[in-house]
Structure 1
Amino acid sequence: MSDYNEPPTSDEGRRTGWAELATGETVELARPGTRFGARILDGIIVVIFYFILAAVAFGGLAPSGDGSGVSSGGIAVMSLVGLAIGLAYEVVQIAVWGQTLGKRMTGIKVVSAAHGGVPGWGKAVGRWLIPGLVSLIPIVGWLLAILCYVSLTWDRVYQGWHDKAAGTLVVRA
């Protein structure tokens, strides 16, 4: 970003806080710290919704019949419910509005790098699937999912692996 809050005339491969869309329009990028804040807020919202749904629909995580703790079937069901909540929360909002609640609160949005508009369903699903799929890799999956998000910190236009794969940018709203 330039000193005067205007797009630079030439970035010469440096990070500037601005990006040019395929249409030629210049957009101001969301900073990594702001994106992290939005992700934290979204995580809190999803966890709250998850626990409310678990309490209402399943009476919480009921102990197994032998009293030794949570049943493996209960864990599997709640894992699938968590996956569905995450998918519905993230994908629907990004596809339709380009913003989750956390992104709205922090003043950022996801746009298509091609035209600057709402990403749509394909890009929203793709963006969600990249960290989701790598997180399924045994032992190192969680680390790869974190790297997916952290990778935006060393990219010129702050694109994480999930943004690159989907062809999206996160910009100031």
Structure 2
Amino acid sequence: MSDMNEPPMPDDNRRTGWAELGLGGTVQLANPGLRLGARVLDVIIGGILGVIVFFVVAAASFDNGTSGFSTGTTVVTLILGLLVGIAYEVWPTALWGQTLGKRIVGIKVVHAMTGEAPGWGKAMGRWAVPALPSVIPFVQFIGWIFTLLCYVSLTWDRVHQGWHDKAAGTLVIRLR
């Protein structure tokens, strides 16, 4: 935040906790701690949903008389897991700018130009930049490092944008 808890002047390049939208107006940015809290909650909730998908597919696999996961069952599990991730992250971000974790901690993703919910393309891009590299076969370790750096990169950016925010043209703002 600025020294007087007010938005900075437009030519101010310091890290103040505020950002100007492309079409005018100023927003208060969510700090990295709030964003980390929301991410942890979202990982926990997403993990629970992933485990449910795993057990549903496993139960269906065993009902078919197989004794375990076949290659087809594994592929189905991965695809369903990916769809659950998209449904949990992209859909609410596109429409409202918030996942459940973001809603709980009081932050929101907005289009950097308008300050509105980002929409489908930006939400999908914002999700894909950190998520997809970590599922590429044979280079997952490098993908996980990229994903970590993607999230950590917001700590050294003036307006707290991670690489995924920069790629999508979004900001994460504080609501309370």
The alpha-carbon deviation at position 164 of structure 1 amounts to 0.4
Question: In 1, distance between residues paired with 2:11 and 2:150?
Answer: 25
CA RMSD of aligned residues (A): 2.2
Of stretches 32-41 and 125-134 in structure 1, the one that deviates more from structure 2 is: 125-134
1:73-115, Cα deviation, whole Å (9 max, x unpaired): 4433322222111111100000111100000000000000010
Question: In 1, distance between residues paired with 2:148 and 2:69?
Answer: 28
Q: Which amino acid aligns with 2:77?
A: M
What TM-score, normalized to structure 2?
0.87
Of stretches 44-53 and 87-96 in structure 1, the one that deviates more from structure 2 is: 44-53
Name the structure 1 match of 2:76: 77
The alpha-carbon deviation at position 58 of structure 1 amounts to 3.3
How many residues are aligned here?
A: 170
Q: Which runs of 5+ in 1 are unaligned?
A: none
Equivalent runs, 1:1-173 vs 2, <5 Å:
1-9=1-9, 12-59=12-59, 65=67, 71-137=70-136, 138=139, 139-173=141-175
Q: Which runs of 5+ in 2 are unaligned?
A: none
Using the aligned pairs only, state the percent identity.
59
Question: In 1, distance between residues paired with 2:60 and 2:145?
Answer: 29
Question: In 2, distance between residues paired with 1:154 and 1:124?
Answer: 22
Question: In 2, distance between residues paired with 1:170 and 1:128?
Answer: 14
3-state DSSP of counterpart to 2:122: helix
Of stretches 76-85 and 18-27 in structure 1, the one that deviates more from structure 2 is: 76-85
What TM-score, normalized to structure 1?
0.88
Structure having the larger proportion of residues in helix: 2
